[in-house]
Amino acid sequence: MKTYLLPSVKITVVLLVALSGLYPLAIAGIGKFTPGHGNGETIIYKSRVVGYAGIGQKFTRDDYFWSRPSAVDYNAAGSGGSNKGPSNPDYLKQVEGRIQDFLKHNPQVTRAQIPAELVTASGSGLDPDLSPAGAQVQIARIAKVRRLTVGQVTQLVNSHIEKPMLGCFGPSKVNLLKLNVALDELKK
Amino acid sequence: MNTEISGVIFTYLLTLAIAIPLGRYISRVFKGEKTWLDFMAPIERFIFRFSGIDAKKEMNWKQHLFALLTINSVWLIYAFICLMAQGHLPLNPDGNAGQSADTAFNTAISFLVNCNLQHYSGESGATYFTQHFVFMFLHFASAATGIAALVVLFRALKDKVTDKLGNFWNYFLKSITRLLLPISFIIAIIFAFNGMTTSYAGKTTFISMQGDTVHVSRGPVAALVAIKHLGTNGGGWFGANSAHPIENPNYLTNTVELVAQCIIPIALVFALGFFLNKKKFSYVIFGVMTLGMLLLVIPTINAELNGNPAIARMGISQPTGAMEGKEVRFGPVNSAYWSIMTTIISTGSVNSMHDSAMPVSGTMMLLAMMVNCFYGGCGVGILNFYIFIIIAVFISGLMVGRTPEFFGRKIEAREIKIASLIALLHPFIILVGLAVSSYTLVHAPNADWSVKPGSWLNNPGNHGFSEMLYEYTSSAANNGSGFEGLGDGNIFWNYTTGIVMILGRFLPIIGPLAIAGLLANKKYIPESAGTLKSDTSTFGVMIFAVIVIIAALSFFPSLALGPIAEHFSLK
């Protein structure tokens, strides 16, 4: 046993220094040169930080584009999904409730137009995006509440659609925080 | 939708494009040939000298196992102590407390065995110290352990009669210095430039557009997430793992994480061919594994694309597919592909919540872990596959009425006994665990634990049963993903899955190495006309059949009660 124990302990000590100490420190050093300086990229509006570009936040007011339902209520000190199974009757009732709520706030919209992501919770509970359809289905409401033309809001949404990676890999999406900031700026 | 499918195909092709040359490189490293990372040699010599190791001393298979088990015991004790004491250790800017004994027991084993089942949430249950000095360290160490064990097998398969199988410390350290660390470094830099945080600053706060005060957990994430995938570990920084926007900010990082977790397991298959100069043999293994992968991936993508039929009945549209538990920036197709790659490869990181996936997908994920050798984890994937090869050789031998031979060695009673025991161990520990938990749930629903058994399950009916089945399957396969609705952060689950994880790790390393060591010592019989050719597609079909019969069929009853029944109730 002694033939192996002592070398085991010693090599562990050296590797702890190298792998757990030096390696992440080097990455932290390199991280200083990234756009967010390693602290995360913030979005600034009216000279105050209103959030992180990548981290979704709660938008429930009618004058903003709504974000997706969240199992952690967009509390970014934690994260997680609902973990509801697809056949769970309570969960299905909850989804039906969300659909009705959405229809109430968006009378211009029919059921078949609501994309699934607006009535289902994301995996992280902090999803920052919607699909283009998820934003487009809210245009009529936003235009009405903000007294803008449908054309203006549509143009705003279209200019915020992020194309798939290299144009051909992955889904298109819309970052809600950026879209809603732009919406506020439009009104100025 | 089309861009989502092309994204997945692109990711897989990119994986192969990297894995094949990487396989050649790995073979060169462990043959001791020249490589472009030879400038690491002085550092390695320093580490060996400091540790008092003679890296040139040849070991037999028993000495390899002694070294492997000794150093793993050291890590287990070290990790356990750190996790309990983390509240008093440095690098704890968020002021998180130490873990309870049962959670620390589970967590220490979990990271030691490359499983990374997480019965805590990273935001509140770990500190920056334990994230780096326990989890990330074990990410490297457990992956290197698996690779070192596999290299012993490579050496044993050579046609020389010997009991000298190289030096464990040499294989172990080189796995880190020549493979895991340099590649992790590159990956972490890509991550840092794509929005993953790297600084040691703690939690931050902002006021949202709507005026809510939001606290944001952060941390030096990028370095850990790189090795988390490269080493097929899967234990993430945040509770939501790679669904979290900091841990996986965009489609590019998602692609890199997907590629990173697959390249070493696939490269090792090719490394086997280069190392033994038997390329055709590695193509056969690769073919069987890829066929298995496709048979699992395609139904999963299909199920997720079609969406949830119960939600479709409510009359809303699911243009992209099932969205519960998924992120918009990845989409259901990519999440489906990820969920299978992470389960066949034993990574266990997730970019969507598996608990909310369609029942067909759940079945495929479970099957992936029940087989546990379609590519498989770093090193251990091929060790598991080797067991099935031995059994396939034995059965083929019986069918043609000849003494079974593999690579010029006779396979006899002792080897086949070990192989059978290891092959049966996997269903045994899963199903016994499942039986015990089901019994407890039914007969002691009000037992006075922090989570009463009656409240373990997050979903009723068949899906609840699947949650328990998934937990033990994931533990035994050292996968680490979960149907996370399960209330697993309590004494029952911490101890039972802890035991399952440790059995599911070390016995499947000891068994194949014992067989390999025994075979390497046997008389070499040159190939003749009557030799069973191991590098043919016929033999590939044979292995595949053995895998299906042993791995898949022994689990059929439990699958029928869980996800299969749920599937039919949804229609």
In 3-state terms, what secondary structure has residue B537? helix
Residue type, B239: G
Burial class (CB in 10 A: 0-12, 13-18, 19+), B399: exposed
Q: How far is CA A100 from CA A74, A97, A106, B112, B330, in A?
A: 22, 5, 10, 48, 27
Query: Please, which residues bridge with residue A162 across strands?
Result: A173
**Same domain (yes/no): A9, A71:** no
d(CA A83, CA B117): 16
Q: Nearest Cβ partner of A23 from B181, B316, B322?
A: B181
DSSP B215-274: EE---SHHHHHHHHHHTT----SSTTGGGSTTTS-SHHHHHHHHHHHHHHHHHHHHHHHH
Binary contact (A84, B460; C-beta < 8 A):
no
The residue of chain A nearest to residue B197, with distances taken between CA atoms, is A38
Binary contact (A170, B331; C-beta < 8 A):
yes
**Same domain (yes/no): A65, A10:** no
- For B71-106, b/e burial (b = at least 16 CB within 10 A) is bbebbbebbbebbbebeeeebbebebebbbebbbbb
Q: How many CB pairs under 8 A join A and B?
A: 388
The residue of chain A nearest to residue B215, with distances taken between CA atoms, is A77
The residue of chain B nearest to residue A129, with distances taken between CA atoms, is B328
Report the pLDDT value the prediction gives residue A2, as an integer from 0 to 100.
74
DSSP B439-495: HHHHH-TT--SSS-GGG--SS-HHHHHHHHHHHHHHHHTT-----TTS---SHHHHH
d(CA B421, CA B434): 20
Binary contact (B70, A8; C-beta < 8 A):
yes
What ipTM was predicted for this assembly? 0.96
**Same domain (yes/no): A9, A59:** no
Q: Nearest Cβ partner of A180 from B209, B352, B461?
A: B209
Instruction: Name the domain count of chain A.
Output: 2
- For B256-292, b/e burial (b = at least 16 CB within 10 A) is bbbbbbbbbbbbbbbbbbbbbebeebbbbbbbbbbeb
pLDDT per residue rounded down to tens, chain B (571 residues): 589 999 999 999 999 999 999 999 999 999 999 999 999 999 999 999 999 999 999 999 999 999 999 999 999 999 999 999 999 999 999 999 999 999 999 999 999 999 999 999 989 999 999 999 999 999 999 999 999 999 999 999 987 888 899 999 999 999 999 999 999 999 999 999 999 999 999 899 999 999 999 999 999 999 999 999 999 999 999 999 999 999 999 999 999 999 999 999 999 999 999 999 999 999 999 999 999 999 999 999 999 999 999 999 999 999 889 999 999 999 999 999 999 999 999 999 999 999 999 999 999 999 999 999 999 999 999 999 999 999 999 999 888 888 888 988 999 999 999 999 999 999 999 999 999 999 999 999 998 888 899 999 999 999 999 999 999 999 999 999 999 999 988 999 999 999 999 999 999 999 999 999 999 999 988 888 778 888 899 999 999 999 999 877 889 999 999 999 999 998 7
For B401, residues 6+ apart whose C-beta sits below 8 A from its C-beta are: none
Contacts with B, A 102-121, CB within 8 Å: 111-117, 119-121
**Closest-CA residue to B13 (of B284, B299, B188, B258):** B258
Q: How far is CA B237 from CA A153, B39, B354, in A?
A: 38, 32, 18
**Same domain (yes/no): A74, A132:** yes
**Same domain (yes/no): A32, A112:** no
CB B110 within 8 A of CB B139: no
Binary contact (A92, B310; C-beta < 8 A):
yes
The residue of chain B nearest to residue A167, with distances taken between CA atoms, is B3
Q: Nearest Cβ partner of B195 from A36, A86, A134?
A: A36
Report the pLDDT value the prediction gives residue B533, as an integer from 0 to 100.
84
Binary contact (B137, A49; C-beta < 8 A):
no
- Judged against a pLDDT cut of 70, whether residue A187 lies above it is answered with no
pLDDT band per the 50, 70, 90 thresholds, residue A1: low
| pTM of the predicted structure, to 2 decimals | 0.96
Binary contact (B223, A131; C-beta < 8 A):
no
Binary contact (A181, B189; C-beta < 8 A):
no
Q: What residue segments make up the domains of chain B, in order of their start? A: 389-570
Binary contact (A27, B322; C-beta < 8 A):
no
Residue A48 lies in a domain: no
Q: Nearest Cβ partner of A130 from B243, B316, B328?
A: B328
**Same domain (yes/no): A35, A65:** no
**Pairing between β-strand B213-216 and β-strand B204-207 as defined by DSSP bridges:** antiparallel
The answer to whether residue A68 neighbours chain B at the CB level (below 8 Å) is yes
For B259, residues 6+ apart whose C-beta sits below 8 A from its C-beta are: B11, B14, B15, B18
Q: How far is CA B151 from CA B31, B418, B506, B521, in A?
A: 10, 20, 16, 17
Distance between alpha carbon B167 and the CA centroid of its chain, in Å?
25
d(CA A69, CA A134): 12
CB B497 within 8 A of CB B467: no
Contacts with B, A 39-58, CB within 8 Å: 39-42, 45, 48-58
Residue A91 lies in a domain: yes
Binary contact (A59, B315; C-beta < 8 A):
no
Q: Compute the nearest-CA separation of A95 from chain B (Å).
A: 8
Binary contact (B251, A165; C-beta < 8 A):
yes
Binary contact (A129, B359; C-beta < 8 A):
no
**Same domain (yes/no): A30, A112:** no
Report the pLDDT value the prediction gives residue B552, as an integer from 0 to 100.
73
Q: Compute the nearest-CA separation of B343 from chain A (Å).
A: 17
d(CA B329, CA A172): 7
**Same domain (yes/no): A19, A75:** no
Q: Nearest Cβ partner of A169 from B3, B169, B311?
A: B3
In 3-state terms, what secondary structure has residue B303? helix
Q: Compute the nearest-CA separation of B164 from chain A (Å).
A: 18
**Same domain (yes/no): A1, A35:** yes
Q: Nearest Cβ partner of A76 from B201, B215, B356?
A: B215
**Closest-CA residue to A125 (of B363, B203, B461, B217):** B217
The residue of chain B nearest to residue A73, with distances taken between CA atoms, is B214
CB B33 within 8 A of CB B271: no
The residue of chain A nearest to residue B10, with distances taken between CA atoms, is A169
Mutation target to probe the A interface, by most A beta carbons within 10 A, among B356, B471, B486, B569 is B356
Binary contact (B324, A115; C-beta < 8 A):
no
Supply the range of the domain harboring residue A34: 1-39
d(CA B159, CA B483): 45
Q: Nearest Cβ partner of B243 from A28, A74, A123?
A: A123
CB A59 within 8 A of CB B209: yes
Q: Could you report how far apart the first and last alpha carbons of chain A are, in Å?
A: 75
Residues in chain B with CB shorter than 8 Å from the CB of A30 are 189, 192, 198
Binary contact (A86, B52; C-beta < 8 A):
no
Binary contact (B67, A4; C-beta < 8 A):
yes
Binary contact (B325, A83; C-beta < 8 A):
yes
Residues in chain B with CB shorter than 8 Å from the CB of A83 are 325, 353, 355-356, 458-459, 483-485
d(CA B186, CA B40): 16
The residue of chain A nearest to residue B355, with distances taken between CA atoms, is A83
Binary contact (B246, A24; C-beta < 8 A):
no
**Closest-CA residue to A127 (of B459, B248, B344, B362):** B248
Mutation target to probe the B interface, by most B beta carbons within 10 A, among A20, A109, A113, A161 is A20
**Same domain (yes/no): A96, A173:** yes
d(CA B376, CA B374): 5
d(CA A104, CA B13): 46
**Same domain (yes/no): A28, A91:** no
Residues in chain B with CB shorter than 8 Å from the CB of A123 are 240, 243, 325-327, 335, 350-353
Q: Compute the nearest-CA separation of B193 from chain A (Å).
A: 5
Q: Compute the nearest-CA separation of A173 from chain B (Å).
A: 6
Binary contact (B239, A36; C-beta < 8 A):
no
Q: Compute the nearest-CA separation of B401 from chain A (Å).
A: 45
d(CA B473, CA A39): 37
**Same domain (yes/no): A18, A65:** no
Crossing angle (nearest 10°) for helices B251-276 and B181-192: 170
**Pairing between β-strand A129-130 and β-strand A161-162 as defined by DSSP bridges:** unpaired
In 3-state terms, what secondary structure has residue A187? helix
Contacts with B, A 120-139, CB within 8 Å: 120-131, 133-134
Radius of gyration of chain A (CA): 22
